């Protein structure tokens, strides 16, 4: 992998605050806590069982949406992902020569007969 990209990701990981690096874990913990607290809060109420069970489900569903919308930090696991992306972008050996030859043939096909005009 390109050392520049590797250093860039390492620096980004180092400079970000701990809560940004662990954003999804923090949000998931808060969602779990909210679901448990909402369940406990409904225990003393005379609610129908479906409503009492539905409140933690709704809290968890909302937490899923919040987790999706949370802006995450840069993770150390991004280094191998970026390396794979960089490798995938490199053309196969000879692919550049083949593309140049195809372009040359297309240009010559467009030219045929134009010298007579």
- Give dist(CA 77, CA 74) in Å, integer: 8
38: in domain? yes
Q: Give the pLDDT of the chain (117 residues) as one tens digit per residue.
A: 667 777 878 888 888 898 888 888 899 999 999 988 888 888 888 888 888 888 888 998 999 899 889 888 887 777 777 767 666 566 555 556 666 777 777 776 665 566 665
Do 73 and 16 meet the contact criterion of CB atoms below 8 Å apart?
yes
Which string of DSSP letters, residue by residue, matches 8-21? HHHHHHHHS-HHHH
Whether residue 47 is contained in a domain is answered as yes
Asked, for residue 33, whether it belongs to a domain, the answer is yes
* C-beta separation of 59 from 35 below 8 A: yes
Using CA atoms, how far apart are residues 27 and 67, in angstroms rounded to an integer? 6
Inside any domain, residue 17? yes
- The total number of structural domains in the chain stands at 1
Query: What pLDDT was estimated at residue 90?
Result: 61
Which residue in 31, 4, 6, 17 sits closest to 81, CA to CA? Answer: 6
Which domain covers residue 28, as residue numbers? 3-91
113 lies in some domain:
no
Taking the complete model, does pTM exceed 0.75, yes or no? no
């Amino acid at each position: 992998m390109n050392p520049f990209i590797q250093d860039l990701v390492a620096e980004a990981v180092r400079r970000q605050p701990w809560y940004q690096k662990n954003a999804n874990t923090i949000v998931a913990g808060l969602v779990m806590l909210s679901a448990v607290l909402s369940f406990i809060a409904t225990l003393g109420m005379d609610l129908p069982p479906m409503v009492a069970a539905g409140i933690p489900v709704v809290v968890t569903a909302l937490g899923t949406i919040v987790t999706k919308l949370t802006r995450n930090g840069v993770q150390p696991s991004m280094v191998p992902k970026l390396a794979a992306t960089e490798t995938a972008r490199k053309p196969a050996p000879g692919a550049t020569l083949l593309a140049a030859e195809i372009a040359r043939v297309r240009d010559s096909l467009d030219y045929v007969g134009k010298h007579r005009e």
